[in-house]
Protein backbone atom coordinates (compact mmCIF):
# COMPACT_ATOMS: atom_id res chain seq x y z
CA UNK A 1 0.00 0.00 0.00
CA UNK A 2 1.09 3.58 -0.63
CA UNK A 3 0.75 6.25 2.04
CA UNK A 4 1.11 9.99 1.51
CA UNK A 5 3.32 12.19 3.69
CA UNK A 6 1.58 12.82 7.02
CA UNK A 7 -1.00 10.07 6.52
CA UNK A 8 -1.82 8.00 9.61
CA UNK A 9 -2.09 4.38 8.70
CA UNK A 10 -2.20 2.43 11.90
CA UNK A 11 -2.56 2.71 15.61
CA UNK A 12 -4.23 5.20 17.79
CA UNK A 13 -1.96 4.80 20.78
CA UNK A 14 -3.78 1.76 22.13
CA UNK A 15 -5.77 0.12 19.37
CA UNK A 16 -5.11 -2.58 16.89
CA UNK A 17 -2.89 -2.29 13.86
CA UNK A 18 -3.28 -3.69 10.36
CA UNK A 19 -1.08 -6.65 11.20
CA UNK A 20 2.55 -6.72 10.18
CA UNK A 21 3.98 -3.81 8.23
CA UNK A 22 7.19 -4.04 6.18
CA UNK A 23 8.45 -0.69 4.91
CA UNK A 24 9.54 -0.92 1.27
CA UNK A 25 10.16 2.80 0.63
CA UNK A 26 9.96 6.00 2.63
CA UNK A 27 10.02 6.53 6.38
CA UNK A 28 7.37 5.90 9.03
CA UNK A 29 7.21 7.68 12.37
CA UNK A 30 5.95 5.80 15.43
CA UNK A 31 4.74 8.17 18.15
CA UNK A 32 2.68 8.34 21.33
CA UNK A 33 0.81 11.36 22.64
CA UNK A 34 1.77 12.81 26.02
CA UNK A 35 0.39 15.68 28.05
CA UNK A 36 3.15 17.98 26.71
CA UNK A 37 3.18 16.81 23.08
CA UNK A 38 4.10 13.69 21.18
CA UNK A 39 7.09 11.46 21.75
CA UNK A 40 8.59 9.65 18.78
CA UNK A 41 9.46 6.13 19.86
CA UNK A 42 10.95 5.14 16.53
CA UNK A 43 11.36 5.78 12.84
CA UNK A 44 11.02 2.89 10.41
CA UNK A 45 13.28 2.86 7.36
CA UNK A 46 13.05 0.77 4.18
CA UNK A 47 13.36 -2.89 5.13
CA UNK A 48 12.12 -2.37 8.70
CA UNK A 49 9.22 -4.36 10.10
CA UNK A 50 6.66 -3.44 12.75
CA UNK A 51 3.40 -4.69 14.19
CA UNK A 52 4.62 -8.27 14.49
CA UNK A 53 5.20 -8.32 18.24
CA UNK A 54 1.82 -6.81 19.23
CA UNK A 55 0.14 -9.10 16.70
CA UNK A 56 1.74 -12.28 18.00
CA UNK A 57 1.30 -11.32 21.65
CA UNK A 58 -2.30 -10.24 21.10
CA UNK A 59 -1.71 -6.81 22.64
CA UNK A 60 -2.75 -3.38 21.39
CA UNK A 61 -0.37 -1.33 19.28
CA UNK A 62 0.90 1.28 21.78
CA UNK A 63 1.67 3.98 19.20
CA UNK A 64 0.47 5.63 16.05
CA UNK A 65 2.23 5.37 12.67
CA UNK A 66 2.43 8.30 10.25
CA UNK A 67 4.27 8.48 6.95
CA UNK A 68 7.11 11.01 7.26
CA UNK A 69 7.34 11.10 3.49
CA UNK A 70 5.57 9.14 0.78
CA UNK A 71 5.87 5.52 1.90
CA UNK A 72 5.20 2.12 0.41
CA UNK A 73 4.49 -0.69 2.86
CA UNK A 74 3.59 -4.34 2.62
CA UNK A 75 0.84 -5.24 5.08
CA UNK A 76 0.19 -8.78 6.30
CA UNK A 77 -2.94 -9.72 8.25
CA UNK A 78 -2.44 -12.02 11.24
CA UNK A 79 -3.37 -15.22 9.43
CA UNK A 80 -1.17 -14.44 6.44
CA UNK A 81 1.85 -13.62 8.57
CA UNK A 82 1.52 -16.72 10.75
CA UNK A 83 1.06 -18.88 7.65
CA UNK A 84 4.19 -17.35 6.09
CA UNK A 85 6.24 -18.14 9.20
CA UNK A 86 4.87 -21.70 9.42
CA UNK A 87 5.57 -22.53 5.76
CA UNK A 88 9.05 -21.00 5.47
CA UNK A 89 11.58 -21.80 8.22
CA UNK A 90 14.19 -19.53 6.61
CA UNK A 91 11.85 -16.55 6.79
CA UNK A 92 11.00 -17.49 10.39
CA UNK A 93 14.69 -17.43 11.31
CA UNK A 94 15.23 -14.06 9.61
CA UNK A 95 12.15 -12.69 11.37
CA UNK A 96 13.42 -13.93 14.75
CA UNK A 97 16.78 -12.26 14.07
CA UNK A 98 14.89 -9.06 13.23
CA UNK A 99 13.03 -9.17 16.56
CA UNK A 100 16.30 -9.74 18.45
CA UNK A 101 18.00 -6.87 16.60
CA UNK A 102 15.13 -4.48 17.34
CA UNK A 103 15.21 -5.45 21.01
CA UNK A 104 18.98 -4.89 21.19
CA UNK A 105 18.62 -1.52 19.43
CA UNK A 106 15.86 -0.43 21.84
CA UNK A 107 17.93 -1.43 24.84
CA UNK A 108 20.97 0.37 23.44
CA UNK A 109 18.97 3.55 22.80
CA UNK A 110 17.51 3.55 26.31
CA UNK A 111 20.93 3.03 27.88
CA UNK A 112 22.48 5.77 25.73
CA UNK A 113 19.80 8.27 26.81
CA UNK A 114 19.92 7.64 30.55
CA UNK A 115 21.48 10.58 32.32
CA UNK A 116 23.36 11.76 29.22
CA UNK A 117 23.56 15.43 28.26
CA UNK A 118 21.58 16.48 25.20
CA UNK A 119 24.66 16.93 22.94
CA UNK A 120 25.69 13.31 23.62
CA UNK A 121 22.14 12.06 23.06
CA UNK A 122 21.85 13.95 19.76
CA UNK A 123 25.26 12.79 18.54
CA UNK A 124 24.28 9.15 19.17
CA UNK A 125 20.90 9.57 17.51
CA UNK A 126 22.40 11.21 14.42
CA UNK A 127 24.95 8.43 14.02
CA UNK A 128 22.25 5.78 14.50
CA UNK A 129 19.76 7.34 12.09
CA UNK A 130 22.21 8.31 9.32
CA UNK A 131 21.79 6.74 5.89
CA UNK A 132 24.72 7.44 3.56
CA UNK A 133 25.89 10.26 5.83
CA UNK A 134 22.47 11.95 5.93
CA UNK A 135 19.71 12.06 8.51
CA UNK A 136 16.58 12.82 6.51
CA UNK A 137 14.33 13.62 9.44
CA UNK A 138 13.00 17.04 10.41
CA UNK A 139 14.32 18.53 13.62
CA UNK A 140 10.84 18.34 15.17
CA UNK A 141 11.00 14.55 14.76
CA UNK A 142 14.52 14.35 16.19
CA UNK A 143 13.42 16.50 19.15
CA UNK A 144 10.40 14.25 19.72
CA UNK A 145 12.62 11.16 19.57
CA UNK A 146 14.76 12.63 22.36
CA UNK A 147 11.82 14.00 24.33
CA UNK A 148 13.04 17.60 24.20
CA UNK A 149 11.68 20.88 22.87
CA UNK A 150 12.64 21.74 19.30
CA UNK A 151 14.39 25.02 20.28
CA UNK A 152 16.64 23.06 22.68
CA UNK A 153 17.53 20.60 19.94
CA UNK A 154 18.10 23.40 17.42
CA UNK A 155 20.59 25.07 19.79
CA UNK A 156 22.62 21.84 20.00
CA UNK A 157 22.44 21.31 16.20
CA UNK A 158 23.72 24.87 15.64
CA UNK A 159 26.60 24.19 18.06
CA UNK A 160 27.47 20.97 16.18
CA UNK A 161 27.41 23.00 12.93
CA UNK A 162 29.81 25.60 14.37
CA UNK A 163 32.17 22.78 15.38
CA UNK A 164 32.05 21.28 11.86
CA UNK A 165 30.36 18.02 12.84
CA UNK A 166 27.17 18.51 10.82
CA UNK A 167 25.49 20.69 8.23
CA UNK A 168 21.77 21.27 8.80
CA UNK A 169 19.39 21.98 5.96
CA UNK A 170 15.67 21.83 5.39
CA UNK A 171 14.45 18.50 6.76
CA UNK A 172 17.90 16.89 6.78
CA UNK A 173 21.24 16.92 8.58
CA UNK A 174 24.46 15.89 6.82
CA UNK A 175 27.14 14.29 8.99
CA UNK A 176 30.47 15.94 8.21
CA UNK A 177 32.59 14.50 11.03
CA UNK A 178 31.24 11.20 12.34
CA UNK A 179 34.36 10.67 14.47
CA UNK A 180 33.77 14.03 16.14
CA UNK A 181 30.13 13.10 16.79
CA UNK A 182 31.22 9.73 18.18
CA UNK A 183 33.57 11.52 20.60
CA UNK A 184 30.68 13.70 21.80
CA UNK A 185 28.42 10.64 22.08
CA UNK A 186 30.99 8.72 24.12
CA UNK A 187 32.15 11.59 26.36
Would you list the DSSP string of 75-102?
A: EE-HHHHHHHHHH-HHHHHHHHHHHHHH
- 101-142 per-position pLDDT tens digit: 888 888 877 777 777 899 999 999 999 889 899 998 888 889
Question: For residue 17, what pLDDT is reported?
Answer: 63
Q: How far apart, in whole angstroms, are the C-alpha atoms of residue 32 and residue 41? A: 7
* Superfamily covering domain 2-112: Jelly Rolls (2.60.120.10)
Q: How far apart, in whole angstroms, are the C-alpha atoms of residue 145 and residue 40? A: 4
Q: How far apart, in whole angstroms, are the C-alpha atoms of residue 169 and residue 84? A: 42
Residue stretches of the chain with pLDDT short of 50: 13-14
Architecture of domain 118-186: Orthogonal Bundle (1.10)
Question: For residue 153, what pLDDT is reported?
Answer: 92
Task: For CATH 2.60.120.10, list the domain ranges present in the chain.
Answer: 2-112
Q: How far apart, in whole angstroms, are the C-alpha atoms of residue 88 and residue 66? A: 30
CB 46 within 8 A of CB 24: yes
Q: How far apart, in whole angstroms, are the C-alpha atoms of residue 76 and residue 86? A: 14
Question: For residue 26, what pLDDT is reported?
Answer: 93
Sort 56 into a burial class: Cβ within 10 Å, 0-12 / 13-18 / 19+: middle
Q: How far apart, in whole angstroms, are the C-alpha atoms of residue 133 and residue 176? A: 8
Tell me how far CA of residue 175 lies from CA of 45, 96, 167, in angstroms: 18, 32, 7
Task: For CATH 1.10.10.10, list the domain ranges present in the chain.
Answer: 118-186
Amino acid sequence: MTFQRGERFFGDGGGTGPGVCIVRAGHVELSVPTSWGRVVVGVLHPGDIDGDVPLLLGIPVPYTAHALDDAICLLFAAAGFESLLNRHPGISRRWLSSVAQRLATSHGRLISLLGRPLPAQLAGLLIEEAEDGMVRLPQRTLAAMLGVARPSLNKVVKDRERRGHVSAGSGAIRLLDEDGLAAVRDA
